[in-house]
Amino acid sequence: MKRLLQTLIWTAVAVLGAVALGTIAFHRGEPINATWFVLAAACSYLVAYRLYSAFIAAKLLALDNTRATPAERRDDGRDFVPTNKWVLFGHHFAAIAGPGPLVGPTLAAQFGYLPGTLWLIAGAAFAGCVQDFVILFCSIRRDGKTLGEMARDEVSKRGGLIAQLAVLTIMIILLAVVALVVVNALKSSPWATFTLAMTIPIALLLGVYLRYFRPGRVLEASLIGVALVLFVVVAGQWVADSPSLAKVFTLGGVTLAFAIIAYGFAASALPVWLLLAPRDYLSAFIKAGAIFSLAAGILLVRPQVLMPPLTRFVDGTGPVFAGKIFPFCFITIACGAISGFHSLISSGTTPKMIQREGHARFIGYGAMLLESFVGVMAMVAACAMTPGVYFAINSPASIVGATPEAAAATISSWGYPLSGGTMTGLAHAVGEQTLLNRAGGAPSLAVGMAQIFSSTIGGDRLLSIWYHFAIMFEALFILTVLDAGTRVGRFMIQELGGRVWKPMGRMNWMPGILLSSAIIVGAWGYFLYQGVVDPLGGINSLWPLFGISNQLLAAVALVVATTILLKMGRLKWIWVTLLPMAWLVIITMTASYQKIFSANSRIGFLAQANALAAQIAAGKIAAAKIADTQRVIFNLRLDAAVTAVLAVMILVLLVEALVQWYAILIRTKEPVMQETPYVATQWAEAD
Amino acid sequence: MQKLRQQFELALRNFWRGFRQWSGDSAYETYLACAQRQKATKPLSRTEFYVEQLNRKYSRPNRCC
């Protein structure tokens, strides 16, 4: 009887999900209610978790709850700490959920809501969750080894080095692109700039409090910090209203870029307790609060989605970034569907804290489903605004024009009606001088969130406060990624440098700290500066580069996972990791090829460089601008080279893995696994 | 009614304990309990543990994009 009831309930969930997916896929003409998105996503995730993850857990991985995990065997109260599965789920989710699932779907909304939403749901269920789950399992069975260590041990030494280099490269591109998102959000906005600037002294204050006055009392310090941050969000309005103060905090893109570069250097070189850790605590609380508020807001307001399912830009002529749905939708939305970076979390901290192997399903697969849900909500928030407004905020001036009237005329001519007055009025309502040409996704997401929040609390009166709260929330946790990433990058450079020159590898040697901090900050700072001065807005070139590198890292993770599973003799079910891996290789190789060689100058780096070079040769560039144009040409060629290097790295790793797989399959080589030996759990119950 | 209240209190206590664990607020208590179990001769002080824990945590990727 119970079984029948369960079957009926799951059948109902599956039918409801299918109806909701069908509705959003085939709906045409009138706006569609956001409830359908929530239903489609939630039901699909439930079914995927109930069926597919259970299948992977039982058949592919054969999770064993009688086997002691590293947390049990090596419990030291520091790294290896057995942790309740719900708490660890929260930890893992907080670690994997960054700005990616918010920004990527917002940018991909230029294709319409349908491609991005379907990729978010299907990509997560069949690729992203699988990667996170399987890598977590592999790392648990290897005492919490990192992806690089597993690649070295299970694929080849060269594989390990490639994984390490891929991580460093993606880190540099990632830091540059997220910094660019912050720059574009703060540009010419004294309110937002003041609010974010004030989070630095607040973090320093908390750092001193937590270090000297109340060591480790994270909750009380975070409570004080969150109250102060909310206060500075409101105080930002007074700054914006004061002519003298507003002038101080009204900064251009280049100035902001240098300020963020200096901040990154400080965060990397200063003691971690002073700035980085307290900012991370603040960010974690505000992130959790804002994400749950957004979910609650969407459920309460149930906004109409005004963006059509498919826009005219499916043909690749989009103003936000150039390129067709295939492959660009799939690399624009990385986090939220599949993100290689997650494999670093799944093979770092989490496997050392897991109590039971069986928990890997809930934590690895489940947390990624929740992140995907965040991505769907970001898509709803972006698509709930008028399409014209969306394009005006996200398109660079070189395409739509720099004035409200020019932008309105261009965007209206595309079939998305917009008046200049609408943009001026909206900017005024959210307390900004302008919302035009804010490529990067953060401002349009903030407008969407503010509209949803203000429909729940405060109405139009609080629209400007909500907008700046959303900007602060996005910028705060982007900066947390930036400073934490810069520090990790510094450690990587010190480790690599230590192989060449020993003192460099000493983590507390000050000249080494300063030099490696300067190298990592200089690397991402260069790409950031290049993005800020890019005539096409920077996002057009940097976000695809980030997407490609992130998805390539996911391919690396799946290559490692597939190799390990083959060695375990799971040939029958190997398609579970092999198919998403093949898909990632196809989309990243296609995107890399197009970004390097496409004849369309808005897509291909080399084509754009050649077009600019031809303009200089033909005397079409003013003498005063020739130096700037030559710099842009150099940057485009550099981007092409970086893309090519990334593609070559994955191809080399793939060949290494194929050789291994072949040897295993034809049995010329006995598979050697580096798994830790079985030890039976001493804990009474295996739940 | 009293049973319901007890269950509610238990749920609240569990939530609070989980929340403290999630935020890192109870990390030192966890460490001390482990040190006691393993009969460590001289466990770290709260301040030493806090700084050491942060240095470890932020030397590897712990925040994603």
Beta bridge partners of A305: A32
Q: φ and ψ at B24, to 5 degrees?
A: 95, 0
Of B27, B50, B63, the CB nearest to A95: B63
What confidence score (pLDDT) does residue A500 get?
Answer: 86
Q: Does B56 touch chain A (CB under 8 A)?
A: yes
Of B21, B38, B64, the CB nearest to A87: B21
- pLDDT tens string A619-637: 999 999 999 899 899 999 9
| A320 close to A394: Cβ distance less than 8 angstroms | yes
For chain A, percent of residues with pLDDT exceeding 70: 100
What confidence score (pLDDT) does residue A386 get?
Answer: 94
A505: left (phi over 0), alpha (psi -120 to 50) or beta: alpha
Q: Which residues make Cβ contacts (< 8 Å) with residue A625, sequence separation at least 6? A: none
Beta bridge partners of A32: A305
Low-confidence ranges of chain A (pLDDT < 70): 685-687
What confidence score (pLDDT) does residue A504 get?
Answer: 87
**Which chain B residue lies closest to A223 (C-alpha atoms)?**
B23
Where do the H-state alpha helices sit in A501-574?
Answer: 510-533, 539-567
Of B27, B47, B65, the CB nearest to A341: B65
Among positive and negative, which fits the CA dihedral A38, A40, A41, A46?
positive
Q: Report how far Cα A223 is from the mean position of its chain's Cα atoms.
A: 27
- How large is the ipTM? 0.93
**Which chain B residue lies closest to A350 (C-alpha atoms)?**
B62
- pLDDT tens string A80-101: 999 999 999 999 998 998 888 9
- Across the interface, whether the CB atoms of A78 and B56 are under 8 A apart is answered yes
Give the angle A36-A37-A40 at the CA atoms, nearest 5°. Answer: 80
Give one DSSP letter per residue of A104-138, joined into a string: HHHHHGGG-HHHHHHHHHHHIIIIIHHHHHHHHHH
| A332 close to A177: Cβ distance less than 8 angstroms | no
- Across the interface, whether the CB atoms of B50 and A273 are under 8 A apart is answered yes
Give B 4-43 residues with CB within 8 A of chain A. Answer: 18-25, 27-28, 30-35, 37-38
- pLDDT tens string B16-35: 999 999 999 999 999 999 99
What confidence score (pLDDT) does residue A519 get?
Answer: 95
- Across the interface, whether the CB atoms of B60 and A349 are under 8 A apart is answered yes
Of B23, B34, B56, the CB nearest to A77: B34
| Residue A415 DSSP label | T
For chain B, percent of residues with pLDDT exceeding 70: 100
What confidence score (pLDDT) does residue A560 get?
Answer: 95
Domains delineated in chain A: 2-188+251-665 (1.20.1740.10)
- To probe the interface with B, which of A72, A220, A273 has the most B CB atoms within 10 Å? A273
| Cα–Cα separations (whole angstroms), residue A298 to A160, A301, A319 | 44, 5, 27
What does pTM read for this prediction?
A: 0.94
| A119 close to A369: Cβ distance less than 8 angstroms | no
Helices and strands in chain A: count of H runs, count of E runs: 30, 2
